[in-house]
Amino acid sequence: MTTYRIAVIPGDGIGKDVVEAALIPVRAAASKHGIHLIETTFDWSCDTYLQTGKMMPDDGIESLRKFDSILLGAVGWPERVPDSVSLHGLLLPIRKQFDLFVNMRPHRVLPGIASPLVKSDFDILCIRENTEGEYSGAGGRIHVGTPHEVATETSIFTRRSVERIIRYGFEQARRRRGRLASVTKSNAQKYSMVFWDEVTEELSAEYPDIEVKRYHVDAIAARMITHPETLDVVVASNLFGDILTDIGAAIQGGLGFAASANLNPAGGVPSMFEPVHGSAPDIAGRGIANPIATIWCGALMLEHLGETAAAENLMSAISRVTPKTQLLTPDCGGSAKTLALAHRIADHL
Ligand code: NAI
Ligand code: MG
Q: For atom 44 of ligand 1, which residue has the closest CA?
A: 278
Among 257, 262, 279, which is best to mutate for testing ligand 1, by the most ligand atoms less than 8 A from CB? 279
Rounded to the nearest 10°, the torsion over CA 156, 88, 17, 348 is 30
Among the bound ligands, name the one nearest to the CA of residue 275. 1
Confidence band for 1, pLDDT divided at 50, 70 and 90: confident
Confidence band for 120, pLDDT divided at 50, 70 and 90: confident
Q: For atom 16 of ligand 1, which residue has the closest CA?
A: 256
pLDDT computed for residue 297 by the predictor: 98
pLDDT computed for residue 137 by the predictor: 87
Ligand 1 centroid distance, CA of 295 (Å): 16
DSSP letter string, 281-323: TTTTTTT----HHHHHHHHHHHHHTT-HHHHHHHHHHHHHHTT
pLDDT computed for residue 176 by the predictor: 98
pLDDT computed for residue 95 by the predictor: 93
pLDDT above 90 for 161: yes
CA distance 50 to 39: 25
Q: Does residue 105's CB lie within 6 angstroms of at least one atom of ligand 1? A: no
* Angstrom distances, CA of residue 306 to CA of 219, 245, 302: 36, 25, 6
Among the bound ligands, name the one nearest to the CA of residue 12. 1
Q: Does residue 295's CB lie within 6 angstroms of at least one atom of ligand 1? A: no
Q: Does residue 289's CB lie within 6 angstroms of at least one atom of ligand 1? A: yes
- Burial level of 51, CB count in 10 A (0-12/13-18/19+)? exposed
pTM to 2 decimals? Answer: 0.95
Work out which ligand 1 atom sits closest to the CA atom of 294.
18
- Residue environment code for 119-134, b if the CB has 16+ CB neighbours within 10 A, otherwise e: ebebebbbbbbbbbbb
Closest C-alpha among 344, 323, 347 to residue 333: 323
Confidence band for 140, pLDDT divided at 50, 70 and 90: very high
Domains and CATH numbers, the chain: 1-100+263-349 (3.40.718.10), 116-251 (3.40.718.10)
Ligand 2 centroid distance, CA of 126 (Å): 13
Q: Does residue 76's CB lie within 6 angstroms of at least one atom of ligand 1? A: yes
pLDDT above 90 for 119: no
pLDDT computed for residue 315 by the predictor: 98
Q: For atom 5 of ligand 1, which residue has the closest CA?
A: 280
In sequence order, the 6+-apart residues with CB closer than 8 A to the CB of 202 are: none
- Cα Rg of the chain (Å, integer): 20
In sequence order, the 6+-apart residues with CB closer than 8 A to the CB of 27 are: 37
Do 343 and 24 meet the contact criterion of CB atoms below 8 Å apart? yes
Ligand 2 centroid distance, CA of 87 (Å): 12
Q: Does residue 290's CB lie within 6 angstroms of at least one atom of ligand 1? A: yes
